[in-house]
Amino acid sequence: MKIGVIAANGKAGKLITSEAINRGLDVTAIVRTENKTVATQSIIKDIFDLTTEDLTQFDVVVDAFGEIREDKLHLHQDSIQHLSDILANTNTRLIIIGGAGSLFVDDQLENQLFDTPDFPEVFKPLAKAQGKALVDLRNRDDVRWTFISPAAEFIADGERTGEYILAGEVFTLNDKGESKISYADYAIALVDEATEGKHIQERISVLSK
């Protein structure tokens, strides 16, 4: 299996790249500057310069792009729109690292986490930007996408336990009443989805046991 990881130099991208390589997959780092991952193959291009020809060589493209500056949050929607356009009507799957804020807090899928009273104000703009990008994806039937939301507490330097809970659209807590996951365990879940392809055109979520 051939996998391309966009923004592979980032914290999540590096761990996903390493996880995939450790499983014997053929991985290419897609980066704007020098490749700083363990991948021996790379494409050096800005995300908005990528073309259909660049990406259709892969079975799966992982979008690990992220932006936290408030005046640049529109890039979440813009970049996913671009990737969707160039992968439309192809066999290449697109897996996107999403956020927890757009998860629903009710089984009717009407109320989202970022609209609850206790959701931190500082994270609302980012959560809503990622939520808008997900809405755009849901409106497309020409892209083989999967959107994977992490737990509310997404821990960059957290422990790799090798285990996780797979959930769906509804915000979920583990048996300890926690919603957290390390980047390392998230990488395991993402590569599992990349290799198994069980959730095409779906949003799933993952959290620690």
pTM above 0.85, yes or no: yes
The region, left, alpha or beta by phi > 0 then psi within -120 to 50, assigned to residue 169 is alpha
Instruction: Grade residue 170 by pLDDT with cuts at 50, 70 and 90.
Output: very high
pLDDT for residue 41: 97
pLDDT of 88 > 90? The answer is: yes
pLDDT for residue 147: 97
Instruction: Grade residue 76 by pLDDT with cuts at 50, 70 and 90.
Output: confident
pLDDT of 72 > 90? The answer is: no
pLDDT for residue 77: 85
Nearest to 182 by CA among 147, 153, 144, 203: 153
pLDDT of 73 > 90? The answer is: no
Beta sheet of 165-167, edge-to-edge order: 41-44, 26-31, 2-6, 60-63, 93-97, 144-149, 202-207, 165-167
Higher per-residue pLDDT: 38 or 74 = 38
pLDDT of 29 > 90? The answer is: yes
pLDDT for residue 112: 94
Alpha helices in 69-197 (DSSP H): 74-87, 124-138, 183-196
